[in-house]
Amino acid sequence: MNYVTESVVLVLKPKAGTDTDGLISELKSKVNRDWEYNGEENDPDTVFAKAIDGRVFFALYHSDLPALTECASKPEEIVGIFRNYCRNHPDADCAGMASYLAYGQNFDALYARKVKEGMLKGLSGYRNDGSFDESPFTGFSDGAIFCPQVDPSAFLGYVFRVPDGEKVDDFVSELRKKANPGFNVCTVLAHITVETVGI
């Protein structure tokens, strides 16, 4: 399953004597396009099912799903994908970029969503020393998070756009200062990486 694209792929080995055509018909008749409950307008529009070499391949996906041309197998590889995406899509919004970064990886099930200035996961809230930081994180005109659906998790990413005329170095400095690897009481993240493009 890919939560960003709401795609599902199943590969099934039917029991001996199972009618594969009947199994395919049953799969198609019981498909739930709104399996992520994000509303009908976001539902995948394509169902594909076929028997191949004794197995049934089933896919539910959007017909306009972009081809995956680069993939990160570990978190630090996302930096290269981020640079390439910025170079090829200079006017992209942060939510679109975060969705692409979440989609182009295979180390966790990530989702992406837009964020606004305020209390942000990993940048506000409980600190390692037990204190609580309720100050809002600000200084960006557009932002998005991409992270696993469920905590505790070993990854958290953001994409921010700094307003024109603002000092990116000051924003990066504040970002590093506020970053809290122990934002979740069950785990502490091992690395903090900040990458800037377009300055």
Query: Which of 131, 135, 122 lies closest to 183 in space, CA to CA?
Result: 122
What is the value of pTM for the model shown? 0.70
Residue 198: which region, alpha, beta or left (left: phi > 0; alpha: psi -120 to 50)? left
108/123 Cα distance (integer angstroms): 21
Identity (one letter) of the amino acid at 84?
Answer: N
Mean per-residue pLDDT, 29-55:
89
Strands 110-114 and 46-52: what pairing? Answer: unpaired
Identify whether the C-beta of residue 138 lies closer than 8 Å to the C-beta of residue 102: no
* Least reliable range by pLDDT among 4-13, 52-61, 122-131, 165-174: 122-131
Identify whether the C-beta of residue 135 lies closer than 8 Å to the C-beta of residue 168: no
Q: Is the pLDDT of residue 195 over 80?
A: yes
Residue at token pair 């100050």: 135
pLDDT digits (tens, 9 = 90+) for 92-149: 999 989 988 888 787 777 888 999 999 998 898 777 777 777 888 999 999 999 988 7
